[in-house]
Structure 1
């Protein structure tokens, strides 16, 4: 108070000028918001975030400043017509948008492509919050495709997508593709892999889908195979570094290849952007370009529903740096769910001891896979990435029991953990809300899928503690499987890290030998080639195979076994 008089309240014009002044030379973004609200249409906060690429926090600040001069229609707001004239000198003259997006123009030349992309996005599986999925707009996907096709010669090239919840792999072909172009998608979301695989197969596009949790490694089939990499990872420093590093491990040509990265941060949070860029520094990448607001999303309002496109170029030191960049599979990558930076830790000592008691026999020394096992627990140990990534080294084989800790965030690899285990008994500990545990149908499907290798003895939900579960499995004996496809699948699954085609061929030979008949390698190879409805699967390992393709494999193997002589 001054001289007993209350301070005068700021007018809306003064309040919005104050907000604008906070942004200095970046005040054009406030001008864009103001021009939109003065243009006559009612706009929600969400509309303005999406149209301007400015964070929700800033847009709401402008709305609050203007509130006395705003009029409403439903959730929409606009500056009242009688007040518009007061803001002519505040937001400047011109259109609502002062910066033209040159990258959008090639995408808009073919509205039929945009409409088809929009339909694909609408038909795709819904986003998974725990995986930080936020769908890109159809225009963004086509922009990415045009940027790749116009900026690089992709004739005969292989493009690797490290995660592809935005369907950019499909957009690349929808936008015209290139002669001999191939794409590979690696993702942990089985629903997404099935959708992309089905849509690509229906259209005759060369898109191969592989399963992997990138924290645990890149599929061996993709190592040093790609000419160009695209990734839109979780927007944490750990997530961006890991996905880029895995992409680099898949890059064949470190002299000419590129990694395209989508990443964004709120205009008021440059420290977050710096943290991500610092996380990338150890990879020794050159920033060839950073295109602001290139990517637009249906969500992600904290970053203005927008993200830049980074064009990253390797240097001579990049390959070695990428190999060393992702050593910690427990690094938290996401902002939600069991794999987030706020998630609880893994097993405590009491819970881990209980799993050892349930899974191992008295006095037995099991193989302990993963982390959080008690320091005094008997048995040898191996990390989860090493266990899932390659056959066990000789000195770690021949264990009667393998205990695998997938808790809390690695449950998506449950099937692969049993494929990797070749012990007489195996136990998995994971969260109890996973799809294959939540109901009897899921449990039956899981047991059927892994049946050629392991018989599920028990599903113990709520064990060793709330929110946890233990799966106990016993190795399926060959005599327990009916002659034919089951035995061949068991042979394939026992060699789960090898090429599927090789295991299938050797399984047919073993099947015939057990029946007292001979089958040459050449004959077995021909039988496989004749029965394989998806020849692209033969070069993959069962560890990399998306779950929906196991049913295809079962049918093909059954057909090959039925066609054998005798």
Structure 2
């Protein structure tokens, strides 16, 4: 627009802005009606109330600026000018598609209040994981959509990430007979909160740790009938979370994946990029409900997102396996795992790790990316290392060096569980909780103590912002420690089986015998969480390690003789 074409008045500026939006001008009108309604409104409030991006809301504020008056951070159109603007903005209904689930949620204020309490008590969002909490009303809406739209009697619902606590919302909204929910997430604080709140209320919600870039826990594969996910809003994040959810579906004929995703109304190219990322999965779009989800934040997308109902086709299962095998090292919008982040081991840093961690007299296993091509040692990718016991041809090494830098530090404990070498070196960021302070270091040492003792922690090594943690195999002292060590050495297997065999092995080391049935009875008498027995140590949330240790010690005391 040239200077000669500049609007002469704020009213002209608003008319010009409406013209830019064409048939979508109702968005501008909705914002304008809020600003002429007599109440002072902040930009954040208008974004939340309209579901329109902050960029568009700010454009309307700028156009109206000469005719706005202020009170604190709020703005409204001056009373003497409001009537003229009301004629322009009209009295149409707010933009968007109304849905019955909003009414359902509002008819149950007790459920909304209960969810608000849970959300308020939950661990704070993690920016590096793109956490933006959904409103309590949205969580109840999601639950009502699932409970009303599907027969969840005896069903298993998988939540691929659950920072919004929708798994708990499913039970707050009434649940269904025999309903079971599983949450898989990388945030240990969230897993502990969800697990503790569900256990306190008697809800069947089971929590599993996983960095989804590295795989879905074996216990969750082909296990569920319905998937819900609200992933990072990047093409890489949406495709990976949906692909992992599809790996969890047992019933590809009738199962569904529910996806929350939104983009700014002036940025359709971003929405297209995500939808193109979903295309290779060969999913049918059964429904797309715009504005279904509302958030306390996410103003770039108007604090709102659609709900997609995705249905697999015959080609989906194979496509999901192929997509999930493409390890995504970057999929968030912030932090070390963002799509714009860079990093990894350069040749000099890798050489320093080899110098400090490897032993010239032992075979070395190099795990992960970033090792120099000429570095001595066998190699294995991080997903393969963490996902299953090592193949026989890689079990004869004395040292394992594992590169978790920069974005895989959440798997540090699991890397030690997966390693069966005498000596292990972990390369990671030096700001991880396990390294930041003495309390974190003690916690980390205690978590891995049945298998390893930490011998050195080197900050800013091999380079700035990096850390090298060196560990050596621990020698067990006492029957309980022997059982725990046996279980930790078989971290990929079912806990119940490793526990029983560990009891038998500990008795044998003490010169006595124990039958399998005696071992099973001791476990049955001691296990406070029988649901853990079919799971592996690799996907167990860290807060349950102490529970498991206490149960193991009681089982040793319960042995006959």
Q: 2:296 is matched with which residue?
A: 298
Structure 1 position 559, deviation (Å): 0.7
Structure 1 position 327, deviation (Å): 2.7
Equivalent pairs, count: 560
Q: Quick one: which of 277, 280, 283 aligns to 2:281? A: 283
Root-mean-square deviation (Å): 1.4
Q: 1:75 is matched with which residue?
A: 73
Structure 1 position 330, deviation (Å): 4.2
Task: Tell me, in whole angstroms, the C-alpha distance in 2 between the residues paired with 1:52 and 1:442.
Answer: 43
CA shift digits 1:277-307 (9 cap, x unpaired)? 0000000000001100100000000000000
- DSSP 3-state at the match of 2:508: helix
Give the 5 Å matches for 1:405-554.
405-477=403-475, 481-554=476-549
Task: Tell me, in whole angstroms, the C-alpha distance in 2 between the residues paired with 1:365 and 1:20.
Answer: 70
- Say if 1:331 and 1:253 are closer, same or farther in 2 by CA, change over 3 A: same
Give the 5 Å matches for 1:139-288.
139-288=137-286
Structure 1 gaps, min length 5: none
Structure 1 position 541, deviation (Å): 0.2
Q: 1:307 is matched with which residue?
A: 305
Task: Tell me, in whole angstroms, the C-alpha distance in 2 between the residues paired with 1:97 and 1:268.
Answer: 15
Structure 1 position 89, deviation (Å): 2.6
Task: Tell me, in whole angstroms, the C-alpha distance in 2 between the residues paired with 1:310 and 1:7.
Answer: 42
Structure 1 position 8, deviation (Å): 7.2
Contact between 2:163 and 2:190, CA under 8 Å: does it hold in 1?
Answer: yes
Task: Tell me, in whole angstroms, the C-alpha distance in 2 between the residues paired with 1:6 and 1:461.
Answer: 62
Q: 2:124 is matched with which residue?
A: 126
- DSSP 3-state at the match of 1:455: strand
- DSSP 3-state at the match of 1:505: helix
- Say if 1:401 and 1:89 are closer, same or farther in 2 by CA, change over 3 A: same
Task: Tell me, in whole angstroms, the C-alpha distance in 2 between the residues paired with 1:530 and 1:98.
Answer: 57
Structure 1 position 103, deviation (Å): 2.5
- DSSP 3-state at the match of 2:458: strand
Structure 1 position 100, deviation (Å): 3.5
Task: Tell me, in whole angstroms, the C-alpha distance in 2 between the residues paired with 1:208 and 1:149.
Answer: 19
Structure 1 position 485, deviation (Å): 1.5
- DSSP 3-state at the match of 1:543: helix
Contact between 1:32 and 1:91, CA under 8 Å: does it hold in 2?
Answer: yes
CA shift digits 1:65-116 (9 cap, x unpaired)? 0011111111011111111111133111245567544330111111011000
TM-score of the pair, normalised by structure 2: 0.98
Structure 1 position 331, deviation (Å): 3.2
- DSSP 3-state at the match of 2:80: coil
Structure 1 position 240, deviation (Å): 0.1
Task: Tell me, in whole angstroms, the C-alpha distance in 2 between the residues paired with 1:538 and 1:364.
Answer: 36
Contact between 1:33 and 1:96, CA under 8 Å: does it hold in 2?
Answer: no
Structure 1 position 393, deviation (Å): 0.7
TM-score of the pair, normalised by structure 1: 0.97
Task: Tell me, in whole angstroms, the C-alpha distance in 2 between the residues paired with 1:169 and 1:351.
Answer: 43
Task: Tell me, in whole angstroms, the C-alpha distance in 2 between the residues paired with 1:33 and 1:514.
Answer: 75
- DSSP 3-state at the match of 2:100: coil
